[in-house]
Structure 1
């Protein structure tokens, strides 16, 4: 009877260990699967965010605004002493000529 009891106890312990191991494995697989799905969704969202919208036309720079910006930076260069009066006038005439 002692031998039969030992074999039965071993079978119960082994069966319990197998059941617990299977349960842990299923939980891990479910967790990894949900993490993988979440990572894929985040990657897709980032990809969609990073792609430029080709349907929308690019805004065109206003030539007057562009000239004004060039004149401002030219005036700053003159104020800093980088340009002489003659150089300033020559560049200003170029910008205004178009």
Structure 2
């Protein structure tokens, strides 16, 4: 019995490998023919239609403490002379979302 199973397993492996190689050769040949004719080969279609990816959840609104921290850092940069008054106002408007 083990000899029979081994033979069946070997046959399955050989058949699977042959199928994979044959498919790859076919795809490569289609690509070559398409290149010679001047257009792209159609992409391989999956055997099933996958569901479209779910939309990402909307970004969580930052809480007020993080906005306050950002405004403090912005104020420190303005005091150090890194930001001008106009840049400070623009960034403040962005942080506050208005």
TM-score normalized with structure 1 length:
0.38
| Structure of larger gyration radius | 1
More helix by share: 1
Q: Which has the higher contact order (CA 8 A, sep 6+)?
A: 1
